[in-house]
Amino acid sequence: MFEVSVRGSFSAAHRLHGHAGGCANPHGHNWEVEVLLRGETLDALGLLVDFQVVKQAVREALAALDHADLNALDLFQNANPTSENLARLLYEDLQRRLDHPRYRVWGVRVSESPGTSVLYREDRDAGR
């Protein structure tokens, strides 16, 4: 099994409705995102997937979030823009952009501050 990892980042503001602490107030983060793809079969060049393909998909997925007020986005009209919800939504978006017969998005890790992160993944076949 091979695993490819690509990282990206974006800056955005949010607030957590219903939070008992300071996170209820508007504040910002420099978010870090790691996308993990897994598969078993390499192409004729010996690649699972070209890093450039993954980097482009990550850039496109993060573009809508960069320098945004996450609470104002349609994505978060019915959910708090937590790291958990961001990881799930990015996973779903990148799955649509990247899943291939030889490899699949295995997980998305989101960090809003150093030393903390959330990993979202689904239990499904990692590759064909």
Residue 87, burial from CB neighbour count under 10 angstroms (0-12, 13-18, 19+): buried
In a domain, 128, yes or no: no
In a domain, 127, yes or no: no
List pLDDT tens digits, range 69-97: 999 999 999 999 999 999 999 999 999 99
pLDDT of residue 123: 81
Which domain range does residue 42 map to? 2-120
What is the pTM (predicted TM-score) of this model? 0.92
In a domain, 126, yes or no: no
pLDDT at residue 41 greater than cutoff 60: yes
In a domain, 96, yes or no: yes
In a domain, 101, yes or no: yes
Straight-line distance from the first to the last Cα atom of the chain, in angstroms, rounded to the nearest whole number: 10
List pLDDT tens digits, range 108-127: 999 999 999 999 999 865 44
Q: What is the CATH number of the domain that holds 47?
A: 3.30.479.10
**Domain count of the chain?**
1
